[in-house]
């Protein structure tokens, strides 16, 4: 891994925050192993091309975070390819709309298996290969991490569990000097949030921006840079925390006009 002294694995790296993070890591001299869901509509080679254009190294690998064997193999290959593993970012997520009265057990279980169970599997596998002094971050959401969201009970519940999981991992791995934090993005423009069926869609995001003190929704790169900071040595005394990046939405005084 000539020219690189850090390596990270990032799930959900074919688009959105994961893709932006792969690029941000490349710009900081961190080699990336990016995981993507087999059959994803987003082309993983696009992420690899962005990283390579920035002078970085990127190994894109298929991984279903609901499958323990695949996650273990992903982490092992990432560590083996680069000869080390310093950072692990659990970013892969599922978003589906379902009213409580109509929600099936299968819908509930699928959401939990991806958005919460997937985080645990990524961290568990990464911990086997990560060097002491490494860092982990999981991506939660303002929906569940702070607010409720109607017709998204399963999503909100899974995302609410992520900060608790991170706090426990932070305590368990602290003797190894491994830090673990959660990032709670607010309204951020990604392929997921632009989905008009399961999320807000372009028009919904535009309307929501009016209620955000900074007057706009966030970008995937802004969240990626926060994650990069939390895994870096500049955040060496930060662990077990949940950092909200929402343009001031959650501290907005009721009735405030922007």
Just list the catalytic residues: 155
Exposure letters 181-198 (e unless 16+ CB within 10 A, then b): bbbbbbbbbbebbebeeb
Among 34, 39, 38, which residue's Cα sits nearest to residue 16?
34
Contact present, 179 and 136 (Cβ < 8 Å):
yes
| Rounded Cα gap, residues 50 and 54, in angstroms | 6
For the record, the structure tokens of 108 come out as 């509930």
Nearest to 227 by CA among 96, 108, 138: 138
Phi, psi dihedrals of residue 10, rounded to the nearest 5°: -135, 120
Distances (CA, A) of 227 to 16, 49, 137, 222, 230: 13, 21, 7, 9, 5
Non-local CB neighbours of 125 within 8 Å, separated by 6+ positions:
71, 72, 74, 75, 76
Residue 82 to residue 214: CA distance in whole angstroms? 40
């Amino acid at each position: 891994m000539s020219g690189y002294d850090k390596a990270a694995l990032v799930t959900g790296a074919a688009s959105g925050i994961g893709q932006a993070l792969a690029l941000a890591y490349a710009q900081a001299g961190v080699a990336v192993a990016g995981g993507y869901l087999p059959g994803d509509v987003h082309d993983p080679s696009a992420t690899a091309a962005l990283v390579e254009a920035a002078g970085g190294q990127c190994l894109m690998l298929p991984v279903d975070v609901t499958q323990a064997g695949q996650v273990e193999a992903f982490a092992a290959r990432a560590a083996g390819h680069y000869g080390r593993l310093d950072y692990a970012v659990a970013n892969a997520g599922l978003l589906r709309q379902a009213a409580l009265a109509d929600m099936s057990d299968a819908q509930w279980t699928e959401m939990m298996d991806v958005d919460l169970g997937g985080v645990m599997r990524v961290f568990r596998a990464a911990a086997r290969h990560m060097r002491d002094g490494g860092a982990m971050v999981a991506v939660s959401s303002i929906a569940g991490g702070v607010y409720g969201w109607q017709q998204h009970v399963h999503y909100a519940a899974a995302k609410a569990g992520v900060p608790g999981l991170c706090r426990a991992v932070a305590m368990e791995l602290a003797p190894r000097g491994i830090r673990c934090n959660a990032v709670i993005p607010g309204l951020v423009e990604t392929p997921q949030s632009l989905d008009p069926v399961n999320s807000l869609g372009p028009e919904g995001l535009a309307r929501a921006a009016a209620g955000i003190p900074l007057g706009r929704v966030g970008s995937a790169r802004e969240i990626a840079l926060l994650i990069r900071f939390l895994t870096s040595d500049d955040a060496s005394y930060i662990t077990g925390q949940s950092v909200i990046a929402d343009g001031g939405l959650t501290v907005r005084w009721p009735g405030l006009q922007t």
